[in-house]
Amino acid sequence: METLALILAGGRGSRLDLLSQRRSKPAVPFAGKFRIIDFPLSNASNSGIMDIAILTQYLPHSLNEHIGSGKPWDLDRRDSQVTILHPHNSWYMGTADAVNKNLDFIKRKKPKYVLILSGDHIYKMDYRKLINRHKELNAEMTIACKVVPFEDVSRFGIIEANEEGLVEKFVEKPKTSTSNLASMGIYVFNYDTLVNSIELKREEHEDLDFGNHIIPYLIYEKKARIGTYKYYDYWQDVGTYDSYLDTSLELNQKALELDLYDPTWKIYTKATGNPPVKLTDTAKISESLISDGSIIEGTVINSVLSPGVYVRKGAVVKDSVLLNNVIVGENAKLDRVIADKNVIIGRNTIIGFGADKTPNDEKPNLLYSGITVVERDAMIDSDLKIGRNCRILRDGKFPENKIVKSGTTIKPE
């Protein structure tokens, strides 16, 4: 076997808060009918990499159910395979520790190259180009990287490379930097390099991490040839409410870099079996993605609707993301709302009203830009006025005056 792909899909995605309370971040729905993990999985399949292992951890059930035998990605054939690996004795403490705890699996496969992928980014990449770059440089490890704004360098591992494209310096999440070439968390290793470096360093660091431990070791101690592969296309982390909503709504723009309709590089997902979209004579839709099984009687503007959403007559959904089977009652108004699965919104209720953007009382660092989020399975009463930056939890108790001020968290008594 030439290449084994490992997708790290165990992350909780704590900044996604209510969206990741009952699923891991890679299992969060995105772009209507997809889930975040569909993007690296489809990239691997489209790149001809047909032996893939998915390393899960936090709330893996929905991810396991979604992936199944791997049929949507053509991974259920005799010459292909998808394996889901769970932690056995203890949780993964770091990215490289996740690989370390599955090292026996990798040794049984003994591929020539091991491709390490993050399961929680939105992008389309031909991994063959990365692997070819790795071969051309005669590297022991190659890092996919992308130029980012200097104000964002503290969020990434930052690389300095020479003219040949070999890494000379790597700093994980520096406060400031003279370089803005960021690691994408996508690596290709020679088999021996990966196994030997992990076995050498795992006794020193129980939280073994590629950015903090393995890459610095290879550069500064082993003096290994670490290559770079510069990526210039669309790549987005949707790990916060703001980035999730903004990236979702960008899909409605005509000039979007991420083409979901490219027949040469399809993004695959598990089929839902839903009927076609139904639009009634009162429906009005502009610049929106509407998924199978949805029924639209009202108005949808610049929004993304997952399968099975029902927008009743007179309702207006604007700049919002509604996940599977959300029901929006008659004459309800939604503005900058993220509603998780199976939410029911009562008639005449307004969510996202007024100009007050008081940050959320419990999560001020997560909700401050005017987005209101509704937890999965929540039922919202009729005739409510709900402001901005609110968190609406399932079984939440609404005030008797039916007004929810901006920044409020509605939760059970």
Q: Is 173 left (phi over 0), alpha (psi -120 to 50) or beta?
A: left
Q: Is the pTM of this model over 0.75?
A: yes
Stretches in the chain below the pLDDT threshold 70: 77-80
Cβ-contact 289, 304 below 8 angstroms = yes
Q: What is the pLDDT of residue 75?
A: 74
Q: Is 141 helix (H, G, I), strand (E, B) or coil?
A: strand
**Residue 324: closest CA among 275, 252, 377, 386:** 377
**Alpha carbons 50 and 2: distance in angstroms, whole number:** 10
pLDDT recorded at residue 77: 66
Task: Look up residue 140 and give its amino acid.
Answer: E
- Residue-level pLDDT at 67: 85
pLDDT at residue 78 in the model: 60
Give the β-pairing of 284-286 and 316-318. unpaired
Which stretches of 284-336 are assigned E, i.e. beta strand? 284-286, 289-290, 295-296, 299-301, 304-305, 310-311, 316-318, 321-322, 327-328, 333-335
Interval 307-337: pLDDT, tens: 999 999 999 999 999 999 999 999 999 999 9
Residue 186's closest CA among 124, 242, 247?
A: 124
Q: What is the pLDDT of residue 348?
A: 99
In sequence order, what are the residues at sequence separation of 6 or more whose Cβ sits closer than 8 angstroms to the Cβ of residue 84? 53, 54, 56, 60, 63, 64, 67
Angle at 80 between CA 78 and CA 83, to 5 degrees: 115
pLDDT number for residue 151: 94
Distance of alpha carbon 72 from alpha carbon 82, whole angstroms: 11
Give every CB contact of residue 77 below 8 A, 6+ residues apart in sequence.
50
Rounded-to-5 percentages of helix, strand, coil across the chain: 20, 25, 50
Q: Going from the N-terminus, what domains does the chain have, and what CATH number goes with each?
A: 3-250 (3.90.550.10), 272-413 (2.160.10.10)
